[in-house]
């Protein structure tokens, strides 16, 4: 029995919740922005993720995954661009962390966090959070393939209007994502004061996040369509 074309609805809910909780470049970037610049820029980054995920979901519905599988060259171009961008963000985080270790009394905006959420300047990778989060979200062709392989398990192929279950599944995923990113934003804003008093701790966390971004970039660069 299906719910408007969705099979095993509660299984999907549990699975989607677990997927959202897995750390990834989107959530780490939003957390970094919120910790460095405060709640408002954090929500700008979250909105960029939201728009990017919406575009990916729409592309999935239009058959983007099939296009990537049929034309490996397109997949290669998007994959390399995504890996390069994630690596660039990671290197900027590591550079800021190194500056923090060398000069712990330097302005914290050189690192991942700032002494004030209203700091007038921020590292380049933390400026224009909406646009950067949008790019990070979109330059991930594996997300399209994953969404398709995950969604099709819960869509009844016999249902007359497949767009209805797809919309239901997408809405559930986006609600979970919005709630999770909101929690990260407020958690990051609360951490800002702690990190402003412990500059080396800030630099250490920045180096950890930067290393994770480099790992995400390497993982994407070596991804395949299988």
Within-domain flag for 223: no
Question: Which of the pair, 213 or 41, is modelled with greater confidence?
Answer: 41
The 8-class DSSP code of residue 31 comes to H
- How many angstroms separate the CA atoms of 121 and 126, rounded? 9
Within-domain flag for 79: no
Kindly report which listed range (48-57, 83-92, 144-153) carries the lowest average pLDDT score.
Answer: 144-153
Within-domain flag for 88: no
Neighbours of 27 (CB within 10 A): 20
Within-domain flag for 101: no
- How many angstroms separate the CA atoms of 43 and 49, rounded? 10
- Residue whose C-alpha is closest to residue 171's, from 83, 88, 61, 69: 61
Within-domain flag for 15: yes
Q: Give the per-residue pLDDT at 225.
A: 59
Whether residue 124 has pLDDT greater than 70 = no
Q: What is the per-residue pLDDT across 132-154, written as a single tens digit (0 to 9) for each?
A: 999 988 887 667 767 667 777 78
Q: Which domain holds residue 140?
A: 2-71+107-197
Within-domain flag for 214: no
- Residue whose C-alpha is closest to residue 35's, from 114, 131, 127: 114
Within-domain flag for 98: no
Distances (CA, A) of 24 to 8, 19, 60, 71, 104: 26, 10, 20, 26, 28
Residue 166 CB-half CA count within 13 A: 19
- Residue whose C-alpha is closest to residue 208's, from 195, 221, 222, 220: 195
Within-domain flag for 226: no
Phi, psi of 6 (to 5 degrees): -100, 125
Number of independent structural domains in the chain:
1
- How many angstroms separate the CA atoms of 58 and 103, rounded? 46
Whether residue 220 has pLDDT greater than 50 = yes
Tell me the pTM.
0.75
- How many angstroms separate the CA atoms of 90 and 218, rounded? 11
């Amino acid at each position: 029995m299906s719910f408007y074309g969705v099979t095993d609805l509660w299984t999907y809910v549990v699975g989607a919740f677990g997927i959202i909780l897995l750390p990834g470049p989107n959530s780490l970037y939003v957390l970094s922005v919120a910790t460095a610049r405060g709640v408002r820029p954090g929500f700008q980054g979250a909105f960029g993720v939201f728009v990017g995920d919406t575009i990916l979901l729409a592309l999935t519905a239009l058959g983007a995954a099939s296009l990537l599988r049929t034309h490996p060259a397109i997949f290669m171009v998007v994959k390399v661009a995504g890996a390069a961008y994630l690596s660039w963000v990671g290197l900027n985080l590591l550079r800021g962390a190194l500056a923090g270790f060398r000069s712990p009394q330097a302005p914290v905006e050189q690192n991942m966090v700032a002494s004030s959420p209203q700091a007038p300047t921020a590292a380049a990778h933390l400026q224009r959070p909406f646009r950067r989060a949008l790019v990070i979200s979109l330059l991930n062709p594996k997300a399209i393939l994953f969404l398709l392989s995950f969604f099709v398990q819960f869509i009844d192929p016999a249902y007359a209007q497949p767009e209805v279950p797809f919309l239901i599944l997408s809405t559930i995923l986006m609600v979970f994502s919005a709630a999770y990113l909101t929690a990260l934003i407020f958690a990051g804003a609360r951490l800002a004061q702690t990190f402003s008093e412990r500059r080396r701790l800030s630099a250490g966390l920045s180096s950890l996040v930067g290393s994770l971004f480099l790992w995400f970039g390497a993982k994407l660069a070596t991804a395949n369509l299988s």
